[in-house]
Amino acid sequence: METVIFDFMKSTPSLTKSLLESFIEGISECNYPVHRINLSSTNVLDCKACTEDIWFDPNSGCKCDDELANLYPILKKCELLVFAIDLEYKNLLKELSKVIDRLEPLFNISFNGDTRFDRKKVLALIFFRSNGSLSIQVSNLLDEFASFYNYEYLGHIYRGQTHLVDLLPESIFKSLGFDLDYHKLAIELVKNNTLNEDLINRIQRNLTPEDSVLREIFSAYRLI
């Protein structure tokens, strides 16, 4: 399925960010188009509330003259919207809300309860350090967005402890298999239209279980 990635990740390269790269590579490997919108470098203006105009035509496009407005043709035809979110992204809730508001031109009016037209899927990939409390607000915001547009909200997938992930030597990082899990998850999603629960559990697992040598390594550096 054709996919748009809304990238709310930090601009600096990191092992955590490479997990998103693995997810994107999985979709591309299945020969589906992937369009990545990097919000840290894309100009997105505040919504002008054009849909509140009684003469608003949902096919007329957006009144904002910015980079996002040029992407509506892609956004309209894609089947999957993925929000890749680092909870430490600057002004996250404000910026996420602004993007969601700007998606109003995608709204399709369904008559007589017919909800079959253009039912996209929405998925959140959420990354955080030690406190993921903000994730509840983010997930609720995306759930409300999907419900209003009659899209299917697939839910959220968490990867916590990113401060520890980014400190790992690449060899240890690779041995944990997180990148491969994200890759496989993407392939199964776009090919079979499902999310593999086993892969999700592996992705969301604690990085430092009590019996892991990693706990001793991190404790030595007083990181946990």
Amino acid at 8: F
Task: Provide the pLDDT for residue 69.
Answer: 87
pLDDT of residue 117: 53
Under-50 pLDDT residues of the chain: 110-113, 115, 211, 224
Q: Which domain holds residue 27?
A: 3-220
206 in Cβ contact with 199 (< 8 Å):
no
> In total, how many domains does the chain have?
1
pLDDT at 211 (0 to 100): 45
Three-state SS across the chain?
CCEEEEEECCCCCCHHHHHHHHHHHHHHHCCCCEEEEECCCCCCCCCCCHHHCCCCCCCCCCCCCCCHHHHHHHHHHCCEEEEEEECCCCCHHHHHHHHHHCCHHHCCCCCCCCCCCCCCEEEEEEECCCCCCHHHHHHHHHHHHHHHHCCEEEEEEEECCHHHHCCCCHHHHHHHCHHHHHHHHHHHHHHHCCCCHHHHHHHHCCCCCCCCHHHHHHHHCCCC
- The CATH number of whichever domain residue 30 belongs to comes to 3.40.50.360
Q: How far apart are CA 102 and CA 142, in angstroms?
A: 14
Beta bridge pairs of residue 81: 4, 122
